[in-house]
Structure 1
Amino acid sequence: MAWFLGLGITGVVLLALSLVFDGLLDGALGGALDGWLSLPVVAGFLAMTGFGGVIAQAATGVGPMGATAAGALTGVGTAWLTYRFSRALMRDQTTVTPTGADLIGTSGSVVTAIPADGFGELLLQLAGQPVRFAARSAGPVARGAEAWVEAAPSATSVLVRPVDR
């Protein structure tokens, strides 16, 4: 029983180390196992093989061979579940990050007047959030006016034209 407990504890320690050394074994063997040799999968296999063997011995009184078989069966099941869960997490996609091109054609409100030869500020909605941008225009635009974005030369500035209504 002590061997199985040692194996289970080793698996738990490896699982804790996988938080620090994530991806260490993923590239081993040239990616031939494609995630099956990842540290969390190996740790899950070892931990459940050890603890499954202990449980099988304690609950049913089987010998070392039966406990090894039961532990290996639970270890393989846990390794498979760990692999599937990690693949599902890797496929999780987030929405696309907005870029300057997403601003072109949108309208906003001028919060600081835009002079003909300098910068003012324009309040735009970017991904549902109000964001202030430095704004330039060919002509002056008064505070409170609505302006359309014609270009986004940088991440924090836009070129605008006033909206005629």
Structure 2
Amino acid sequence: MAWFLGLGITGVVLLALSLIFDGLLDGALGGGLDGWLSLPVVAGFVSMTGFGAVIAQAATGVGPAGATAAGALAGAATAWLICRLSRALMRDRTAVAPTGADLIGTSGNVVTAIPAGGFGEVLLRLGGQPVKFAARSSAPVPRGAEVWVEAAPSATSVLVRAVDR
């Protein structure tokens, strides 16, 4: 039983190392540890084989060979589950991040007055969050005025025009 507990604990340590050094071993070996040979899958198999054997031996009183077989079945099922879950997580994609092009046509307020042909600052909403941008305008725009974004020449600057109301 001590050997099986040692095997289970070794698997838990491997799993902790795979969480701490996420992908380090995969990168060192050229990414060849995908799927069934990934460290979390191997750690789950080793851990569940050891703990499954301990449970089988304690619950049913089977010998070491029977406990090993029961533990290996539990380990294989756990490895399959971890492999399937990790593949599902790797395929999961998030929404596209907002870009400067999403700003065109939006309105905002001038934070720092914009001189004619010079730079000022405007507060715009990008992805629902307030973000301050450097702004240029062909005409002077006072602080607090509402503006429309006409273009986004860079990731941190916009071309604006004052809103006539």
* Change in CA separation of 1:127 and 1:45 when aligned onto 2, cut-off 3 Å: same
| Residue aligning to 2:62 | 62
Identity rate, percent: 82
Contact 1:113 1:141 in 2 (8 A): yes
- Counterpart of 2:99? 99
Secondary structure (helix, strand or coil) at the match of 1:111 reads: strand
1:2 positional shift: 2.3
Unpaired runs of 5+ in structure 1?
A: none
Counterpart AA for 1:131: V
Aligned residue for 1:154, secondary structure, equals coil
Deviation at 1:90, TM superposition (A): 1.8
**Residue 8 (1) aligns with residue 5 (2):** no
User: Residues 71, 131 of structure 1: CA spacing in aligned structure 2 closer, same or farther, 3 A cutoff?
Assistant: same
Q: Is residue 114–residue 140 contact of structure 1 (8 Å, CA) maintained in 2? A: yes
Find the aligned partners of 1:35 and 1:119 in 2 and give their Cα distance.
53
- Equivalenced residue count is 164
> What residue is the counterpart of 2:145 in the other structure?
145
The letter for the 1-side match of 2:154 is: S
Superposition deviation, residue 28 in structure 1: 5.8
Q: Which residues of structure 2 form unaligned runs of 5+?
A: none
Aligned counterparts of 1:28 and 1:100: Cα–Cα separation in 2 = 39
Equivalent positions of 1:124-163 (< 5 A) are 124-163=124-163
Structure 1 residues 21 and 129 mapped into 2: Cα distance closer, same or farther (>3 Å)? Answer: closer
The more displaced of 49-58 and 87-96 is: 87-96
How far has the Cα of 1:16 moved from its partner?
1.5
- With normalisation by structure 1, the TM-score equals 0.88
Alignment of 1:16-165 (within 5 A): 16-23=16-23, 24-25=25-26, 31=32, 34-165=34-165
Q: Displacement of 1:89 after TM fit?
A: 2.1
1:46 is displaced (CA, Å) by 0.5
Query: Following TM superposition, by how much is the alpha carbon of 1:27 offset from its aligned partner in structure 2, in angstroms?
Result: 8.3
In structure 2, what residue type is equivalent to 1:5?
L
- Provide Cα deviations, 1:42-96, integer angstroms capped at 9, x if missing partner: 0110011011111111111111221111000100111111112222222332222
